[in-house]
Structure 1
Amino acid sequence: MNSNQPWLLGREGERIAAGFLEKKGYRIVQRNFRFHRNEIDIIAMDGETVCFIEVKTRSSATKGEPAEAVTPGKQREIARAAEAWLAFSSEGEPDCRFDVVGIIAEPLSGGRFRARSVELFADAFHDPGRG
């Protein structure tokens, strides 16, 4: 894997995840929302529920499943960004949840990747700051 591929793998994983979620009926609201150093990969609506979605993509599962990389620290960062997004949004006080999409993808030519597996973990974690 050359030095650009980890970045490409992540970008392609987010593209794959967005398409996967849309096929499942989610409506993508925003991608790559940033608040200070914190980022949410995808914000989407699943019916009336706002979903803050972390996408983890790997080229293999030899170092563990992709979703296992969403550590408690990463969960706190996502939750902080979600609170900021909710404060700035016009959604009022909607039902919310945190989902994770884990992807294993193999490289193709031209910086593209093909998903070998895509797994959605709906309601994968709760805001660690709210106990």
Structure 2
Amino acid sequence: MQNDQPHDLGRKGEEAAVTMLAGKGYDIIERNYRYKRTEIDIIAMDGSTLCFIEVKTRSSTAKGHPLDAVEKHKKREIIRTARAYLALHYGNRDVPDCRFDVIGILWETVPDITHIEDAFWA
């Protein structure tokens, strides 16, 4: 994986994350949901809980673990985008329980996937 472009590596990481989530019984609702200039990588249902999931993939830890890339600013953007999603798709209807998950993938030769449920709160 060392020679892949960052965008290609990110796409492969998201595919691996979707496969892993589906294997855990998640129902994938949307991928790459955009609001203004921000994107939520995966929106999925885990039972009755709506999950907004950020995926970060790196080929090495030279710049830190992928989970470290979801910092304060990125969290605020994800929360804003999740609120827009809820307003558009639920409006005045009851909103399901929601949570924010982060998936970090270190892909040196094979993907090493770490899934943090309820990684941060709005």
Aligned to 1:26: 26
- Is the partner of 1:89 in helix, strand or coil? helix
Amino acid at match of 1:125: F
Taking the TM superposition and a 5 Å limit, the aligned residue runs for 1:113-128 are 114-115=110-111, 117-127=112-122
Structure 2: gaps of 5 or more residues: none
Aligned to 1:110: none
Aligned to 1:78: 78
Aligned residues with identical type, % of pairs = 55
Aligned to 2:46: 46
Taking the TM superposition and a 5 Å limit, the aligned residue runs for 1:92-131 are 92-106=94-108, 114-115=110-111, 117-127=112-122
- Is the partner of 2:108 in helix, strand or coil? strand
What root-mean-square deviation, in Å, do the aligned CA atoms of Structure 1 and Structure 2 show? 1.5
Map Cα deviations across residues 40-87 of structure 1 (whole Å, 9 max, x no partner).
000000000000000000001232111110010000000010001101
- Deviating runs (4+, > 6 A) in structure 1? none
C-alpha distance in 2 between matches for 1:55 and 1:82: 15
Tell me whether 26-35 or 57-66 shows the greater mean CA deviation: 57-66
C-alpha distance in 2 between matches for 1:50 and 1:39: 16
Amino acid at match of 1:103: I
TM-score by length of 2: 0.91
Amino acid at match of 1:85: Y
TM-score by length of 1: 0.85
Question: What is the aligned length?
Answer: 119
Amino acid at match of 2:118: D
C-alpha distance in 1 between matches for 2:38 and 2:97: 21
